[in-house]
Chain A
């Protein structure tokens, strides 16, 4: 028989991968190809950070690397750069996750915003160092703001619909 904790971990991971791929395919849908709209929030990044800060054992670092590598390839971004940055950011979040868990949500939100800002700056610096074309600064800032604004929504949805509330994971690990 499969150990129930292990099964829960496996199911959570499968759900995470399915959600990530669903977000990616939603972005690729040709709803209005050619129209130039506002850069929306990077929901996949929100999802990964929410999940890492709630159930770190369900999102192994190899899964994150593979998923972001696929995203890099499909979205015509420099291959590997986005994946490397995502791994670094999620590892930073994962390391601090036990401390952040006891703090109120506002603090978590603020720190996630700091992490995302650092990620954006690192991405831009690396693109500039390798003489790659830089995306327009205004649009990057807009996307950053939209991503931060979407973070509480994703966190709330994850807590309400997927059973990933803050704090319960804490009790789970404490009393295991």
Chain B
């Protein structure tokens, strides 16, 4: 140690510490300059080390969930009453759902619709939390090995949860909709307006860039709009809610706080119409006017007219 050594040890130590700080700041600058590469290295590091601690994480997680499950026994009576009330409401909803299902089947049969087969999914288990209160993300145990790509949408059983940001070989990180840097284009349904769902590290992400907020009401359905081409359109996100600060926010449909199994939707980018000029080909340059009919048509037309003339002779 430096303090036991002779006189020159302290300055040497000071220089070494300054060098260490400089190296760390250089690492930070490298992250700042070549962010994609640094993030790939981070994903590779997490991929290498975090799954190997699964054996210690899984039992502790299970145990703490069991404890919290045990605590909920204390509220058993209240929960029972609550469930009875909800069951009564559900009976009415079930009737409505059956009617809607019949109507839906009828309409689908009339339209001969096939639901998009491109929308398949990969399921994964949540490995770790983000570990800090300032970022909202989870780590899944599926990765590039399972064909996961950056930007794919992730759902739990109920609604959109977030999108993939960062893929390792066997793990991938899901940035949740509540993360401060999450921006998702959405459509608000009865009015059909477009908006941007902006996470701000609160439980209810905000709606930005709404054209006419007076047309929205709390309770309107919010779905993903598919603008930008990465997200499939029509995934349920949640409901509009008016927050106490007067902003329009979204109460998320996904069961945040109990994300255990997530589905990553394989989405393929929609075909882009980049050049509208190709849709209507320009006429050939050497001839101005309506194009000539093809030769075969002209001959057939000639025969027809001859036949017609012959018929006229009789």
Residues of A within 8 A of B (CB): 24-25, 27-40, 57, 61-62, 65, 69, 73-81, 83-84, 87-88, 91, 130, 132-133, 135-136, 139-140, 143
Dominant SS among interface residues on chain B: mixed
B17, B65, B202 pick with most chain A CB within 10 angstroms: B17
23 residue pairs bridging A and B, Cβ less than 8 Å apart:
A24-B131, A25-B56, A27-B129, A28-B128, A30-B127, A33-B259, A34-B255, A35-B203, A36-B256, A39-B134, A57-B3, A61-B17, A61-B20, A62-B20, A65-B20, A65-B24, A76-B132, A79-B38, A80-B25, A80-B27, A139-B133, A139-B201, A143-B133
Do A27 and B132 form a contact, CB below 8 Å, given A33-B259, A34-B178, A73-B42?
A: yes
B256 touches A35 (CB 8 A): yes
A28 touches B45 (CB 8 A): no
Specify which of A25, A31, A79, A132 is in contact with B27 (CB 8 Å cutoff). Answer: A79
Tell me which of B76-84, B135-143, B295-303 binds A.
B135-143
Smallest CB separation, B43 vs chain A (Å)? 10
Specify which of A28, A74, A81, A136 is in contact with B200 (CB 8 Å cutoff). Answer: A136
Chain B residue nearest to A81 in the complex (CB): B28
Docked Cα-Cα span, A73 to B49, in Å, equals 11
Specify which of B28, B61, B131 is in contact with A75 (CB 8 Å cutoff). Answer: B131
A133 touches B181 (CB 8 A): yes
Q: Which residues of chain B come closer than 8 Å to A28, judged between CB atoms?
A: 50, 57, 128-129, 131
Complex interface bits, B109-139 against A, C-beta within 8 A gives 1, otherwise 0: 0000000000000000011111111111110
Docked Cα-Cα span, A87 to B21, in Å, equals 7
B257 touches A78 (CB 8 A): no
Smallest CB separation, A118 vs chain B (Å)? 15
Smallest CB separation, B245 vs chain A (Å)? 13
Docked Cα-Cα span, A28 to B254, in Å, equals 21
B31 touches A30 (CB 8 A): no
Docked Cα-Cα span, A61 to B12, in Å, equals 14
Specify which of A76, A80, A133 is in contact with B130 (CB 8 Å cutoff). Answer: A76
Complex interface bits, B22-39 against A, C-beta within 8 A gives 1, otherwise 0: 001111101110000010
Cβ-closest 8 pairs across A and B: A80-B27, A39-B133, A35-B257, A80-B28, A34-B256, A84-B24, A135-B134, A27-B131
A33 touches B138 (CB 8 A): yes
A29 touches B1 (CB 8 A): no
- The reply to whether the CB of B8 lies closer than 8 angstroms to some CB of chain A is no
Specify which of A32, A91, A136 is in contact with B257 (CB 8 Å cutoff). Answer: A32
Chain A residue nearest to B176 in the complex (CB): A34
Interface residue ranges of B130-184 to A (CB < 8 Å)? 130-138, 161, 173, 176, 178, 180-181
Interface residue ranges of B254-308 to A (CB < 8 Å)? 254-260
A28, A31, A76, A80 pick with most chain B CB within 10 angstroms: A76
